């Protein structure tokens, strides 16, 4: 008479015991296992593409992993690590500035150079290792950040999506994105915890790693505006006063100044006032020719080039409205306004200065905290499908952008 109930209890106890054991594993161990497993999968994809890679301007035929992981922007970072930045800008026959190292921030290649000197290792080995370690750190900080707003299960699943995201290959190639994302997530975590003074060295280094200084300064402005208007929306109990505003204002000003510092440094070294912006414009000249940078026109120009008008304008409007709806939908409130304000600030910055091309998907990586919204559904089927879609899109991104098939005009 007791056999049936005993089996039922035992059947129920199995999953409960598994959950109990799972919770005993420290969160950072779980995140580390997920990150390492994701990197193995992505590494296998990269090796598969390397095995069929033909000789090109970056590598010989069938390159090694480290060689294949150091192409595209990695080649520019190698030049900077070896030779620094040019004091004279390269000019074409028409007098236009051509592509050069000033488009890339110095923190990552200089760190790589320092470690090369200390260890005697090659650029490829050090650069990929730095990215791998920074990506690992970014995954750990990401889990802490989204864990401020989500329960353990959702925060962990959001971190899984972060580790297998379509462009997560940048965590194991010679790109500055992993280091920049690590610093950004640390800065956002400090903002959420209101540790303003601790944030200062982070935003200084962040602004010299990736061009996010102006966007982060705009985030601070948005945050202060919301605090002044509705303190509860940013989890503040008291109204904004001058005394309370000083620390975030200092952070915002410093971040903004760092955002302007690199163009000023390029000007000082080369003697050309628009050295940085003219260098950036060189990368889009193959699409729309040589044009001046007019804020908030690049995306109109880009969508017009890709889709022709008026279809381009309509698609751009749909994309912007869709993003706004996604960020401010009722369910998104669980993620915290600070993270959504960052996404808005960064996207507005991109709309002002960035020209949409094949590298757009990589450039959008800093809005990764929005994965907390994607991770809200608890359905196991949904979660399995989400991971599968991410891995599939990862392969598509590597095929379309990283792998070089003859004349390649889709750089990552």
DSSP structure string for 71-116: -THHHHHHHHHHH---SS--B-TTS-B---GGGS-SHHHHHHHHHH
Residue 11 lies in a domain: no
Share the mean pLDDT of the chain: 94
Q: What tokens were used for 373? A: 């919204």
Question: Which is it for the CA torsion 153, 234, 332, 217, positive or negative?
Answer: negative
Looking at residue 189, the DSSP 8-state letter turns out to be: H
Residue 144 lies in a domain: yes
Res. 138: pLDDT tops 80: yes
Cis omega (within 30 of 0) for bond into 45: no
- The pLDDT value recorded for residue 14 is 59
- The pLDDT value recorded for residue 9 is 47
Total tally of structural domains belonging to the chain = 1
- The pLDDT value recorded for residue 8 is 45
- The pTM for the full model equals 0.94
Looking at residue 357, the DSSP 8-state letter turns out to be: S
Residue 17 lies in a domain: no
Provide the total of helices (H) and of strands (E) in the chain, helices listed first. Answer: 18, 0
Strand extents, DSSP E, 14-85: none
Residue 198 lies in a domain: yes
- The pLDDT value recorded for residue 2 is 45
d(CA 127, CA 98): 25
- Could you identify the residue written with the tokens 């593409």? 49
Q: What tokens were used for 244? A: 């309370």
Res. 233: pLDDT tops 80: yes
Contact 304, 313 (CB under 8 A): yes
Residues 37-66: what's their mean pLDDT?
97
Residue 269 lies in a domain: yes
Q: What angle do CA 360, 101, 278 make, to 5 degrees?
A: 70
Question: Greater confidence, 405 or 208?
Answer: 208
Contact 85, 279 (CB under 8 A): no
Query: How much of the chain, in percent, has pLDDT values that exceed 70?
Result: 95
Res. 293: pLDDT tops 70: yes
Res. 10: pLDDT tops 60: no
CA distance to 124, 202, 285, 392, per residue, from 138 (Å): 21, 14, 34, 22
- Domain span at residue 331 reads 22-402
- Could you identify the residue written with the tokens 């290959």? 169
The neighbour count for residue 284, using CB atoms within 10 Å, is: 20
- Could you identify the residue written with the tokens 């940048």? 170
Q: Assign residue 336 a region: left if phi > 0, alpha if psi is -120 to 50, beta otherwise?
A: left
Residue 349 lies in a domain: yes
Contact 164, 394 (CB under 8 A): yes
pLDDT in tens, 148-172: 999 999 999 999 999 999 999 999 9
Residue 410 lies in a domain: no
- The pLDDT value recorded for residue 23 is 72
Which residues are 86's β-sheet partners? none
Contact 158, 146 (CB under 8 A): yes
Q: What tokens were used for 79? A: 């030049």
Helical ranges in 165-212 per DSSP H: 177-192, 196-207
The neighbour count for residue 363, using CB atoms within 10 Å, is: 17
pLDDT in tens, 301-347: 999 999 999 999 999 999 999 999 999 999 999 999 999 999 999 99
Residues 235-264: what's their mean pLDDT?
96
Contact 61, 165 (CB under 8 A): no
Res. 4: pLDDT tops 70: no
- The pLDDT value recorded for residue 298 is 94
- The pLDDT value recorded for residue 349 is 98
d(CA 346, CA 407): 32
SS3 212: coil
Contact 248, 224 (CB under 8 A): yes
Residues 115-130: what's their mean pLDDT?
98
Query: How much of the chain, in percent, has pLDDT values that exceed 90?
Result: 89
Residue 6 lies in a domain: no
d(CA 306, CA 231): 42
Res. 34: pLDDT tops 60: yes
- The pLDDT value recorded for residue 13 is 52
């Amino acid at each position: 008479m007791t056999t049936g109930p005993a089996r039922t209890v035992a059947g129920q106890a199995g999953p409960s015991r598994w959950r109990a054991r799972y919770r005993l594993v420290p969160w950072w161990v779980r995140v580390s296992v997920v990150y390492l497993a994701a990197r193995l999968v992505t590494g296998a994809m990269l090796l598969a593409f390397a095995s069929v890679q033909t000789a090109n301007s970056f590598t010989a035929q069938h390159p090694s992993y480290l060689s294949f992981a150091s192409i595209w922007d990695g080649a520019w970072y190698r030049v900077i690590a070896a030779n620094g930045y040019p004091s004279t800008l390269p000019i074409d026959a028409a007098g236009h500035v051509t592509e050069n190292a000033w488009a890339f921030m110095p923190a990552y290649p200089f760190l790589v150079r320092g470690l090369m000197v200390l260890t005697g290792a090659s650029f490829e080995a050090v650069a990929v290792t730095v990215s791998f370690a920074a990506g690992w750190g970014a995954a750990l900080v990401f889990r802490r950040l989204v864990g401020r707003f989500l329960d353990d299960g959702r925060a962990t699943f959001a971190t899984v999506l972060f580790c297998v995201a379509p462009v997560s290959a940048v965590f194991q190639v010679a790109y500055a994105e992993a280091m920049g994302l690590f610093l950004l997530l640390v800065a956002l975590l400090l903002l959420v915890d209101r540790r303003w003074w601790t944030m200062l060295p982070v935003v200084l280094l962040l602004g010299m790693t990736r061009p996010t200084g102006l966007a982060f300064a705009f985030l601070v402005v948005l945050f202060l505006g919301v605090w002044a208007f509705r303190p509860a929306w940013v989890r503040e109990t008291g109204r904004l006063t001058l005394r309370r505003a000083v620390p975030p204002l200092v952070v915002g000003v410093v971040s903004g100044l760092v955002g302007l510092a690199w163009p000023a440094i390029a000007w000082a070294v080369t003697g050309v006032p628009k050295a940085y912006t003219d260098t950036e414009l060189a990368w889009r000249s193959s699409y729309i020719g040589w044009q001046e940078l007019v804020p908030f026109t690049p995306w109109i120009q880009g969508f017009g080039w890709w889709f022709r008008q008026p279809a381009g304008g309509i698609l751009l409007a749909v994309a912007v409205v869709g993003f706004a709806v996604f960020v401010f939908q009722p369910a998104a409130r669980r993620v915290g306004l600070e993270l959504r304000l960052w996404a808005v600030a960064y996207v507005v910055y991109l709309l002002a200065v960035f020209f949409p091309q094949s590298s757009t998907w990589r450039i959008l990586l800093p809005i990764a905290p929005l994965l907390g919204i994607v991770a809200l559904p608890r359905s196991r089927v949904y979660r399995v499908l989400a991971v599968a879609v991410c891995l599939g899109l990862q392969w598509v991104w590597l095929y379309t952008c990283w792998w070089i098939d003859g004349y390649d005009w889709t750089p990552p």
